[in-house]
Amino acid sequence: MSVSITVGAYGVAFGAAAVANGFTVLQSCLLSLLTFSGASQFAVIGVIGAGGSAISGIATASLLGVRNALYGVIMAPRLQVKGIKRVIAAQITIDESTGVALGQEQRGVDAMRKGFWYTGIGVFVFWNLFTLAGALGAQAMGDVRAFGLDSAVPAAFLGLVWPRLTGNFERALAIGCAIFAIAMTPILPAGLPIIATAFIAIAVGLKR
Amino acid sequence: MTTLWAATLGTSLVAFLLKYSGHSVPERWLSHPKIQRINAFIPIALLSALVAVQSFSQKTQLMIDQRLVGLCVAIAALLLKAPFPVVVLSAAVSSAAVYNWL
């Protein structure tokens, strides 16, 4: 439950940021309903808002969505679902539902399933309601800079990346990629400096 | 179809296919340690790049404006272990203050 409420706050930030980056209220809500993966959604609106093409936006969001596939690999043997239930399980396979399920591992597979479904569905409901609220709020604002929304977006990204910076290596990678993206911004078309950092991550991961 | 609609629907389609594929492929395909490590690094790289680009650029031009203040306040809030809503809100309020009154 506490996870669901925290997610509501992210949802407001997403809805507002999406509208601030030029998406309509309908498009913002569809992203939350259909994409339903916070980091990917923030990425696509961020890249498009910075002037990137649709392909750059989709590519960046999809690279961030790869981790959901890995969560699915972990969850599938424990959920044992088929057909429409598997489609629904796939849609709610995200950071929060997988995290809560894995937290219940010692209490058995039933507790894991319960954790997965309750968290996934709870987050889905809250995320979508609060996206709508945030999008409508931003639409009513007019000049989003006067309300600081142009800073809320990078702050949201920072809040998403911060818990992942668990060691010096991760921190160095983050700072390196930030500097690289800024240095490439005047040179490459919008969106590409961001995607290019994924290749840095792949190269570093293969080598280390 | 406009860029915004293409981005909305394209992102959604790929996001679902990725999630569904995870539920459908054998576990050993994706459990390789290198894949796991790359999977941990990609969000760090992309999200850091997004923080930087969203804070210091307008299209393909670099610029420093009220967003720098918001970013510094957000970093301070995170160092003080503030929860996510406080981080975003304090960044927005400080940036708006600079934009409106300076």
Contact B27, A156 (CB under 8 A): no
Per-residue confidence (pLDDT) for residue A2, from 0 to 100: 59
Contact B73, B90 (CB under 8 A): yes
- Give the whole-number percent of chain B exceeding pLDDT 90: 63
Return all residues near A25 (Cβ < 8 A) that are at least 6 apart. Answer: A15, A19, A132, A135, A136, A139
Task: In whole angstroms, give the CA distance from residue A57 to residue A55.
Answer: 5
Record the pTM.
Answer: 0.80
Nearest by CB to B18, which of A41, A47, A66? A66
Contact B58, A121 (CB under 8 A): no
Tokens of B94: 């400080």
Contact B57, A194 (CB under 8 A): no
Q: Which residues of B touch A75 (CB under 8 A)?
A: 22-23
Q: What angle do CA A72, A74, A79 make, to 5 degrees?
A: 75
- Residue B35 — very low, low, confident or very high, per pLDDT cuts 50/70/90? confident
Q: Are residues A58 and B46, on separate chains, in Cβ contact within 8 Å?
A: no
- The residue with tokens 């925290």 is A6
pLDDT above 80 (res B68): yes
Q: Verify that A156 and A107 share a domain, yes or no.
A: yes
Q: Verify that A96 and A194 share a domain, yes or no.
A: no
Q: Verify that A85 and A127 share a domain, yes or no.
A: yes
Domain count, chain A: 2
Per-residue confidence (pLDDT) for residue B20, from 0 to 100: 94
Q: Are residues A159 and B84, on separate chains, in Cβ contact within 8 Å?
A: yes
Phi, psi at A94, each rounded to 5°: -140, 180
The region of weakest confidence among A1-15, A129-143, A170-184, B42-56 is: A1-15
Per-residue confidence (pLDDT) for residue A23, from 0 to 100: 96
Q: What angle do CA A51, B48, A184 make, to 5 degrees?
A: 50
Q: Are residues A73 and B8, on separate chains, in Cβ contact within 8 Å?
A: no
Contact B71, A151 (CB under 8 A): yes
Q: Which residues of A touch B69 (CB under 8 A)?
A: 151
Q: Are residues A189 and B60, on separate chains, in Cβ contact within 8 Å?
A: yes
Enclosing H/E stretch for B61: strand B61-62
Q: Verify that A42 and A8 share a domain, yes or no.
A: yes
pLDDT above 60 (res A1): no
Q: Verify that A95 and A198 share a domain, yes or no.
A: no
Q: Which domain, by its residues, includes A45?
A: 2-164
Q: Verify that A150 and A186 share a domain, yes or no.
A: no
- The residue with tokens 């500097």 is A179
Q: Verify that A26 and A74 share a domain, yes or no.
A: yes
Tokens of B63: 């610029």
Q: Are residues A197 and B91, on separate chains, in Cβ contact within 8 Å?
A: no
